[in-house]
Every structure is written in C-alpha cells, then in structure tokens.
Amino acid sequence: MPSSPMTRGAFADLMFPGLNEAYLIAFNEYPEEYNQFLNVGSSSMRQEDDYVAAGFGLVPEKGEGDQPIFDVMKTVGTKRYTHLTYSMGYEVTEECVEDELYGIMKQGSKTLATAVKQTVDTLAAAVLNDAFTAGTGVDGSFLCATDHTPVKSGSDQANKPTVDCDFDPVALDNATLEFEEWRNDNDLPIMIKPKYVISGPKQRKIIGQTLGGEKMPFTADNTINAVREWELQRIILHYLDDEDVWFVTSRPADHFMKLFWRVRPRFRGYDDPNTGNARFLVRFRLSVGFTHWWGVYGSSGG
C-alpha cells in the first residue's frame, strides 16, 4: 500500500513564522565507500555471469623425439550477478508546498540523495559483512573460509585464521604471510600482493599505528616493523556490522569483489495530475557480490 502524502498538519510548525531556523538533517560529508574496495562496472543486461577456469601447471621437460605433454584447463565454476531494482520517493500535498515557509519540503531531495548513498554503501559492505556466514563464490565456499578446495591439485587453502583474532601487528603479519603462501589450482604460487587493510572506525587508530611506524608498535624493543615494506593503505568503512572485523585485500584489479551498475540513480519529480501533490522519486538497479576468494583475507575478530 502506498504511504500517505506529507501534509500541513504533520508539519504545522513550518506553516507559521517565528522559528529561528529549520533544519533538514542530511549530512553527506564522507565520500562514497563502495568504490574504494570493490571493482565497479556497468552492465547492459539483466544479469552478468562470471566464468572461472583453472589454467595450466608447470611446463615439463620433453625428451628428444618424445610427444609433448598436453595439459588441460578445468572449470572451477560460474557466478551469476542478478541486478535488483531499488526505488523510493516522497509525496507532499500541494497545500503543504504552498504554505510551508522555510523551504524544508523543497530540500527533501537532499535526504533522498543521502538515502541512496547510504543504501549503496550498505549493500556493498554486505559482501564483507557476510564474508564468514553467507554467500558463496565459484568454489562453493564463503568469501573467507578455511576450506577453499582446488579443482586440479593441492590441499585446501584458508584466507582467514583458524581461530579468528583481533587486529594487531602479529595478526597483520600472519595475514601478509598467507598472501605469499596461497597457491592456485595447479598448486603453484598465486603471487597476489596485499594492498589494503579494511576495518571500521574503532580500528582506525591501531591500523594507523601498525602501518605507519618504522618500529613494531606496542613492543618494548626496537624490532623493525616488517609489514611497512608492503606499503599497505588503510580503508575505513562505516557500514560494517562488526566493529572488530578486519580484512586485508589486494588492489581491486587482483580480487573478485564486484558491484555492477545496471542503472545508476535517476531522480525525478512531478505533480500528480489528479491531486496536485508533488512527488519526488529515485530509482536505480545494481548487483553486488564476489566471484572468487583470491585477494581477500579476513577475520571476524577475537
């Protein structure tokens, strides 16, 4: 059922002079966050499919006159991104627009734009919020798990601690070591470099201290801070559900977390021909998810 329009009765204080100031709360100072850690693309179809195949192993030695060894590629899996539609608006009676003295009704589009920004960032953060409990990639596992199984050879691999832990210099060092030890479906090094440490505002200080110092922080000796050689950068996200969760990721070009824009936000306003009420709407379509776990390491905290 459609909601009722906003009327003069619901905003009676705005119909009379005497207010010192009228505010419409629509803070919007932080930049969009989704494009800091996701691969962002556009789509011209109702859905997008990713296909992942395992390539070849090492080239073997060939004896004189012998036939070469023929390797095969093997399907890892496919991932479908189905674009969903999002839309919201508000309606104001003709009389309310005419009689409201402080311009609040005309500023409603600001809060609508803020709502779009917060919605997109919330949907994007869900990729990380669900990393340990929901959603699967082409290998059938969560984004961060200990049972990523190769399709050709090798043992299961992990991109999270066996026992989840809080962020600290030792945990970060272990995470970067995992990056270097990951192996592909042919049991060969993947060779993906870590680039970003991602967490929420509570972790801003400790991440900054860990990444910025020449010496290992929170220790009494002068041990060199070895993780500085990675030149890691910090990303603070405000839409993570858990204040203790943290991730280390590669640059977006080397991981598979994605957002597809099918239709970017479109704002429009019109007057209802029957009532004269002013209506303001926004609509957009997108899909968010991940295809493969490579390039992401995470912990849900201790």
What sign has the CA pseudo-torsion 266, 270, 275, 278?
positive
Closest CA to 34 of 191, 205, 299, 261: 261
Residue with tokens 């932080």: 30
Q: How far apart are CA 183 and CA 149, in angstroms?
A: 11
Confidence of residue 223 (pLDDT cuts 50, 70, 90): low
Mean pLDDT across 14-33: 61
Reported as half-sphere exposure (CB side, CA atoms, 13 A), residue 143 has a value of 27
Confidence of residue 224 (pLDDT cuts 50, 70, 90): low
Residue-wise pLDDT for 52-107, tens only, equals 999 999 999 999 999 999 999 999 999 999 999 999 988 888 887 788 766 777 77
Predicted pLDDT of residue 23 = 47
For 7-36, the three-class secondary structure string (H helix, E strand, C coil) is CCHHHHHHHCCCCCCCCCCCCCCCCCCHHH
Residue 267, pLDDT above cutoff 60 = yes
Average pLDDT, the chain: 88
Residue that wins the pLDDT comparison between 222 and 178: 178
Assigned CATH for 40-52+79-297: 3.90.1690
Q: How far apart are CA 156 and CA 150, in angstroms?
A: 7
Angle at the Cα of 118 from the Cα atoms of 115 and 122, rounded to 5 degrees: 135
Residue-wise pLDDT for 147-203, tens only, equals 999 999 889 999 999 999 999 999 999 999 999 999 999 999 999 999 999 999 999
pTM score, whole prediction: 0.86
